[in-house]
Amino acid sequence: MLESAGIACVLRNEMAAGLSPEVPLAESTPELWIQDDHQLAEALEIKAAFKAKAVVLGSDWKCPTCGETSEPQFTSCWKCGGAKP
């Protein structure tokens, strides 16, 4: 989303999360870096708008194929891949 808004950014430690506990959590947590500090305010606005839209409505649903319960934001079953009814 940031790149599509013209904000250059870099994701760091993307793969390092799997190294925990050998690598301390503080050194292996994924980080998003904005390349131009002058665009930070705009990036934070985009983040806030994304978080505001992230509210999920609905209730948990039961997969008609395997019976597993999934949260409302998922459109397919995590266990068998069956479609949400």
What is the domain extent for residue 44?
3-54
> Residue 20 — very low, low, confident or very high, per pLDDT cuts 50/70/90?
low
**Percent of the chain residues topping a pLDDT of 90:** 60
71 and 61 in one domain?
yes
62 and 25 in one domain?
no
Domain count, the chain: 2
> Residue 54 — very low, low, confident or very high, per pLDDT cuts 50/70/90?
low
31 and 16 in one domain?
yes
| Residue 24 pLDDT > 90 | no
74 and 39 in one domain?
no
| Residue 14 pLDDT > 90 | no
Torsion angle (degrees, nearest 10) of CA 63, 56, 40, 42: 120
36 and 16 in one domain?
yes
10 and 46 in one domain?
yes
Q: What is the pLDDT of residue 4?
A: 94
Alpha-carbon distance 62 to 67, whole Å? 5
